[in-house]
Structure 1
Amino acid sequence: MSKLTWVEDYWAHTPSDGSGGQPHDLLKHLQDTAKLAQQFAKIFDAGNLAYLLGIWHDLGKYNPEFQQYLRDAKKAEEQGQELGRKGPPHAVWGAMLLQNRLGQHPQASTFTLPVLGHHAGLEDAGEGEQKILGEPETSERLEIMQEAIQTFGLQPSGTPEKIPTQPYQQELFTRMVTSALVDADFLDTEKHFGQERPEARQYDLDIPQLWQRFEAGRQKLLDKQQKNGKKVAPHVQKVRDEVYAECLKAAEGKPGLYRLTVPTGGGKTLSGLAFALKHALKNDLRRVIVAIPYTSIIDQNAKVYRDVLGDDAVLEHHSAVETKSRKAGPDQQAEDAERKQGSALRMQLASENWDMLLICTTFVQLFESLFARKTSKLRKLHRIARSVIVLDEVHTLPPELRAATLDVMRTLIDDYGVSVVLCTATQPAFETDELTAAFKNLSQTEIVPQYADHFRELTRVKYALHPEYPNPAAWNTLASEMKTEPQILTILNTRKDSLALIRELQSQNTEHLYHLSTLMCGAHRKKVLAEINARLDDKTEKRPVRLVSTQVVEAGVDLDFPVVYRALAPLDRIVQAAGRCNRNGNGEALGRVVIFQTLSGKAPKGPYQKGIEKARTLLETSQNIDHDMNGTEILRRYFSMLYGDVHPDELHIQPLRRELEFRKVAETYRLIRDDTVSIIVPYGDYLKALIQWQHFPSRKSWRALQPYVVSIYTHEARQLAKGGAIRELEEGVYLFEAVGQYDPLVGLPIDRDPADLIYIPDGGNVL
């Protein structure tokens, strides 16, 4: 390996149209990346370290073999060809030099792993060290790297800040500095190649402007609702006004941990946003991140935010809007051309690194990124520092992951100036958890101190056990009772139970029967919900609606039934189900919530099943179920019992974090453990959207296809594929091809034997 003496300059990247045909100068790239990384990490007191990593990250490109590779790639491109080989590794060279200089430094991994993984992602500490030590010709490579430092005159400015020594803090700190480095590297490289991209990233809004928009937009929305005749009972409006006022008052407080406990119908969505924006304004925080558990409800929340703040103010980022693109090259060109129109490009770019003021995302996107190793997910993390995180429906966080989840939340609060808002009608009472230390001695501010009074004031329902309880209620009994109620919602724990009840209702010739579940595509559910709400909102007559649903309606779905039946479930789920009963408090009498046991007794296993056991104990020992369920103390007792029975680190993630096992942590921390695939179903205008996506795969065309997609478990897809009911279009994406078998009532009929389905012959495919 010879030293590089034959070139006049050193390249970081090949010439591009975006740079006027000039190569990307290596020294300039190192310096510009280092300065940008320093700017990003300065917010959490790691600017000097990030600068050092920026200088070191691509130093390995000084390698004469890498410089030859770049020139060969340029020559091949000029001849309209592809080089056909990748360049030699370069990240490991910078990591090697750092390792050599640091020796046995106890926090050496926080220096070396970000450099080693700035393309491929963070390695486990032990594996990363082995990769570095396993490099051949170490002495000669180190000599070349030393020559690069001398040639470029590199003297990293400032002494790296003190790295946290507490293992869990060091683990998150390493992710954060990696995030700053990766984002800076992407942005500087994009500036070289990006053409219109750097200009599209310009963003003029700030938090003060967003707050002004909110005040005006909220009033306009309230006026519109009143004009449209959407009446709210006076006592409900009183509570909403008090909640809003308390949110504005509490927003004056300092960053920390907050709890927003609001009964269903208390105006949580807008009041929570009001707190977050004003709190950010008062404390000079940089952005607001609203995380929601389900993609099924994120659209409606994001729509409310856009109605109030404007389309340009809200970034909606979750799996349903991420691109499923089957090819590179032409597809990317089509996508870039498509996104040049309006603000589409701006939103796409912002989704890469969350460079927006208001992000509406999912728990999966937020928390799995906080435990991620891949650069695509890590890139956004540094933007979380000095932000407000609103965790809506926080009770849905998996209790078996709470040790790692709460620990990261605590570290964000303590080390990164973040305010976290735990927002729900059923507070999980983490402070009662004797098995998890993360929230011990952490001050929690109740945004609405009088929340217990509000629960009493908004008592809209009367709870009761089914007459057959504790024995199971037969399907024909439940069906007969539903037939006698003109407007009733029954919620089951499983899709199979829902379908069993529907079949019984059909056998009894029940009219005005509806169904909601995740077996229905979004467009189907939206249409059904619109029809149901139109019937429920009709004040001229009581139009019959008999709805059978899975848990999909329990979080954020705006339904208002006079009667709700709920299969025995975790206690917080029963309370959430009651939120769909007499929601606006306009009924002449209290709504009725009836709790029953099912014939099958089936329910999701694990913590959900344990939650059912705790709920059963509390209900069967209650002296006055209606009084207890309309209060708040029973939920504290419930969560205390649940946490005592569900290990907070069931998957042993914390020991992996302690040893900086980044790859293993990312593989283990999963909010949704079962892998799912996407099934495109024949509903509505699906064919038009499908053809568009297949011809022009892009973020926009994939999102247009989402209303016609159903997610099912991989093992369910295998059963359908075995008989030919679905055809794979690309990895993880299938087309449902069973003729006439997408049911207008229940959606995808995956509970049936695939042999019972009728299939399109091989020659009859529509595409």
Structure 2
Amino acid sequence: MNWTSDFWAHTPSEGSGGKPHDLRMHLLDTAERAQRYADAFGAGKLAYLLGIWHDLGKYNPEFQQYLRDAHAAKDKGEDLGRKGPPHAIWGATLLQSKLEQHPQRSTFTLPVLGHHAGLEDSGEGEQKIAAEPDFAERMAMMTEAIKAFSLYPAGDPEQVPGTQLKQELFTRMVTSAIVDADFLDTEFHFGEERPKAREHDLDIPALWERFGAGRERLLEQQRQSEKVIAAEVQAVRDGVYAECLKAATGKPGIYRLTVPTGGGKTLSGLAFALKHALHNELRRVIVAIPFTSIIDQNAQVYRDVLGADAVLEHHSAVQPKDNKAEKQDAYTLRLQLAAENWDVPLVCTTFVQLFESLFARKTSKLRKLHRVVRSVLVLDEVQTLPLELRGPTLDVLRTLVDDYGVSVVLCTATQPAFEADALTDAFKGLPQTEIVPQYPEHFEKLKRVEYSLHPQYPQPVPWEALALELKAEPQSLTILNTRRDALSLLRSLQAENAEHLFHLSTLMCGAHRKDVLNIINERLKQKTEVRLVSTQVVEAGVDLDFPVVYRALAPLDRIIQAAGRCNRNGNGAQKGRVVIFQTVSGKAPRGPYQQGIEKARTILETVKDIDLELNGTDILRRYFSDLYQDVPPDKPGVQSLRRQQEFRKVAQAYRLIEDDTVSVIVPYRDFRRALEQWQRFPSRKSWRALQPYVVSIYTHEARQLAQAHVIRELEDNIYLFEAQDGYDLLVGLPIDRDPADLIYMRGGSNVF
């Protein structure tokens, strides 16, 4: 055999001119790319070493025969129908034999072992390696491969962090660099998009240069529109923007951006992030948001300011199944390569995508993790982070700041008091810079609503009675705690012949939600009738401006956030009205959400002046401090599992949405064109085009709908909705439970 051409890493492809992917070159190219990625956090030598060894197992003659059989089957238009022999375990076995006495050997072996199938628990990984038959023969073959390919990684790799928790995150980061490098080199071979083409020409300096002109253009459009913004509201927005620019020259660390709803947080927060990244030579801005409804809106604002090519909007993910980890046919590899890697300077994503990646084991989630290094991480509506996971969440955020050059920006109108949490140490003693120090003055200036309890409170209001009230309100927003309650109210409004009804939930695809929001905002502007019934997805960050908001009893921060959709621009002749009521069902997510409701109930029933208290800023600090006492910071025991390097168990324990979800493509607008493009050539580019027509539902719901022939699985965890007239233009998918992205509190998903 000729060592440089007769050993394949992957089968021939059109992208390579019909040539196979040379194994030696794949190892070297992956190692060099992984080194560049890991240099950003001081682990370049280690990543290079592991990149060299990650696919050494493909030297095995049995694997080489498998690749040739797969290629022959493809030429005949057939699927070989089987996986190749395991290859990742060979390099891991060699590493473990060389590092037998090394106390942190799992950081070397697990990334190689799991570069396709994902990170194993440390003990299970070692057992898999130890159980390999023909150990001596395989070690001899690996040694032969290194000599044959002239691969002699020199020098000792960098020191692995000493503490268990830091080592655990470090192992994920190294794995991320290797996986992304491996996938990109493979994608280069298969060839729709060249890796260098995807490491964009745009960078932070280019985005900052665009920002000034884009902001002025957007403001001018607002001035030319019929949308009236009160002078005091505009004055606050201008003040917030000025303070953001001033604070942006600070050093990387923890920042808080506390702005009343309607205070211009979206645009000013972006200005801070871009200028801060520019000043500190950081690589990208990642804006993480709890709800896809806000992503739709924020990403559009960013595009309006910076251009459509500047923003990656990422909320739905391609998730190949574990049992395909060793398949090396072109189509399966393309599905794996379609996993997003955040290779752009501005990412707009969800809390689920961000935080579950920080605690993930699967390569589809881990791949993008190294891109977080030396970034500005903007956490919008940060108060929605699940309280039962705040211990591990805050610990990882602290480590990102301390060890990976990340700046974290906590953005909200209802700032949680993490530093006052008696049960969590991560943020204690950690300096937090208030970007807008005079935020209490802004809240005082922007008292645009009056809070009141419904006349029947604390007695529940029957749906029929509530429907009659809302029928008499030409423009109203009603927010319920569950989709089932929202559907009940909609049915009652329809029974009362109320007109111009609208609904929003995460069971509507993004393109649908965007259209509905455009119609609603146009009707609000024209002062024509519009009645919106929604789940909680609208209450934080969505740019709506109703004169009246009805809010079912909820945690206190949710009530205050809901008020941000009322008289948002301060342009009403009188203050907006926020009415708090109790539903007949009394349903709400259990766990911390329900505990938050009970805290809010106590406050509402004991304070002397509800309107005065809820329009202030002090009450939330008391509320969160009290709530933290009742909610354990790490109920599933994530930190203990992390200390033991139990990667599989950590991923199972750290879940923002308890049940697994899958993607359902729905028949909305011109979805067919995007679907056909995806089916012709699965890639990140075609998935991004399809994403606006995707809805996420629970796995068990997908099984039920598939059995009823309502949906059909196209690829791993990707379904097509096929029922005739089943996708409803009022409510979306015909399911009465709403995953609601992150409006999940552990243990409470069964009430949606």
What TM-score do the two structures reach when normalised by structure 2?
A: 0.89
* Secondary structure of 1:529's aligned partner: helix
Amino acid at match of 2:359: F
Tell me, in whole angstroms, the C-alpha distance in 2 between the residues paired with 1:726 and 1:268.
41
Tell me, in whole angstroms, the C-alpha distance in 1 between the residues paired with 2:485 and 2:609.
29
Q: Which residue matches 1:472?
A: 460
Query: What is the Cα deviation at residue 318 of structure 1?
Result: 1.8
* Secondary structure of 2:243's aligned partner: helix
- Counterpart selection for 1:42 from 32, 39, 43: 39
Query: Retained in 1: the 8 A contact 2:340–2:684?
Result: no
Bigger shift: residues 660-669 or 469-478:
469-478
Tell me, in whole angstroms, the C-alpha distance in 1 between the residues paired with 2:95 and 2:596.
50
Cα deviation code 1:300-338 (max 9, x no counterpart): 2111111111122111222079999xx9999969x99xx
Amino acid at match of 1:735: F
Query: What is the Cα deviation at residue 571 of structure 1?
Result: 0.7
Query: Retained in 2: the 8 A contact 1:96–1:132?
Result: yes
- Counterpart selection for 2:536 from 548, 551, 571: 551
* Secondary structure of 2:340's aligned partner: helix
Query: Retained in 2: the 8 A contact 1:322–1:699?
Result: no
- With over 3 angstroms needed to count, the CA separation of the structure-2 counterparts of 1:23 and 1:507, relative to structure 1, is closer
Query: What is the Cα deviation at residue 21 of structure 1?
Result: 5.4
Cα deviation code 1:114-139 (max 9, x no counterpart): 11112221111011101111111212
- Counterpart selection for 1:490 from 462, 468, 478: 478
Query: Retained in 2: the 8 A contact 1:322–1:702?
Result: no
* Secondary structure of 2:544's aligned partner: coil
Identity of aligned residues (%): 73
Tell me, in whole angstroms, the C-alpha distance in 2 between the residues paired with 1:547 and 1:195.
44
Tell me, in whole angstroms, the C-alpha distance in 2 between the residues paired with 1:679 and 1:55.
38
- With over 3 angstroms needed to count, the CA separation of the structure-2 counterparts of 1:239 and 1:513, relative to structure 1, is same
Matched, 1:376 2:361: no
* Secondary structure of 1:96's aligned partner: helix
Query: Retained in 1: the 8 A contact 2:4–2:24?
Result: no
Matched, 1:659 2:644: yes
Gaps of 5+ in 2: 738-752
Query: Retained in 2: the 8 A contact 1:290–1:361?
Result: yes
Cα deviation code 1:659-713 (max 9, x no counterpart): 1111111222221113445556666666777778778877677666666655444
Tell me, in whole angstroms, the C-alpha distance in 1 between the residues paired with 2:666 and 2:187.
37
Gaps of 5+ in 1: 337-347, 753-767
Matched, 1:629 2:614: yes
Query: What is the Cα deviation at residue 167 of structure 1?
Result: 1.1
- With over 3 angstroms needed to count, the CA separation of the structure-2 counterparts of 1:703 and 1:422, relative to structure 1, is same
- Counterpart selection for 1:307 from 298, 304, 307: 304
- Counterpart selection for 1:209 from 206, 209, 215: 206
* Secondary structure of 1:352's aligned partner: coil
Matched, 1:316 2:313: yes
Matched, 1:728 2:716: no
Matched, 1:261 2:258: yes
Tell me, in whole angstroms, the C-alpha distance in 1 between the residues paired with 2:639 and 2:233.
44
- With over 3 angstroms needed to count, the CA separation of the structure-2 counterparts of 1:531 and 1:316, relative to structure 1, is closer
- With over 3 angstroms needed to count, the CA separation of the structure-2 counterparts of 1:685 and 1:207, relative to structure 1, is closer
Q: Which residue matches 2:571?
A: 586
Query: What is the Cα deviation at residue 197 of structure 1?
Result: 2.0
Query: What is the Cα deviation at residue 652 of structure 1?
Result: 1.5
Note the 1:137-148 alignment, pairs <5 A: 137-148=134-145
- Counterpart selection for 2:383 from 395, 404, 410: 395
- With over 3 angstroms needed to count, the CA separation of the structure-2 counterparts of 1:141 and 1:299, relative to structure 1, is same
Amino acid at match of 2:284: R
- With over 3 angstroms needed to count, the CA separation of the structure-2 counterparts of 1:232 and 1:322, relative to structure 1, is farther
Tell me, in whole angstroms, the C-alpha distance in 1 between the residues paired with 2:673 and 2:24.
49
Query: What is the Cα deviation at residue 275 of structure 1?
Result: 0.6
Q: Which residue matches 1:763?
A: none
Query: What is the Cα deviation at residue 592 of structure 1?
Result: 1.1
Note the 1:216-227 alignment, pairs <5 A: 216-227=213-224
Matched, 1:162 2:159: yes
- Counterpart selection for 1:173 from 170, 173, 179: 170
Tell me, in whole angstroms, the C-alpha distance in 2 between the residues paired with 1:533 and 1:571.
26
Q: Which residue matches 1:605?
A: 590
Q: Which residue matches 2:599?
A: 614
Matched, 1:561 2:546: yes
Query: What is the Cα deviation at residue 220 of structure 1?
Result: 0.8
Q: Which residue matches 2:745?
A: none
- Counterpart selection for 1:32 from 29, 37, 52: 29
Query: Retained in 2: the 8 A contact 1:288–1:388?
Result: yes
Number of equivalenced pairs:
731
Tell me, in whole angstroms, the C-alpha distance in 1 between the residues paired with 2:265 and 2:320.
31
Tell me, in whole angstroms, the C-alpha distance in 1 between the residues paired with 2:316 and 2:259.
28
Query: What is the Cα deviation at residue 110 of structure 1?
Result: 0.4
Query: Retained in 1: the 8 A contact 2:356–2:651?
Result: yes
What TM-score do the two structures reach when normalised by structure 1?
A: 0.87
Bigger shift: residues 692-701 or 251-260:
692-701
- With over 3 angstroms needed to count, the CA separation of the structure-2 counterparts of 1:87 and 1:517, relative to structure 1, is closer
Tell me, in whole angstroms, the C-alpha distance in 1 between the residues paired with 2:664 and 2:156.
53
Query: What is the Cα deviation at residue 449 of structure 1?
Result: 0.7
- With over 3 angstroms needed to count, the CA separation of the structure-2 counterparts of 1:554 and 1:193, relative to structure 1, is same
Q: Which residue matches 1:759?
A: none
Note the 1:39-118 alignment, pairs <5 A: 39-70=36-67, 86-118=83-115
Query: Retained in 2: the 8 A contact 1:561–1:583?
Result: yes
* Secondary structure of 1:420's aligned partner: strand
Tell me, in whole angstroms, the C-alpha distance in 1 between the residues paired with 2:394 and 2:548.
37
Bigger shift: residues 482-491 or 83-92:
83-92
Query: Retained in 1: the 8 A contact 2:293–2:538?
Result: no
Q: Which residue matches 2:413?
A: 425
Q: Which residue matches 1:481?
A: 469
How much is the aligned-residue C-alpha RMSD, in angstroms?
3.3
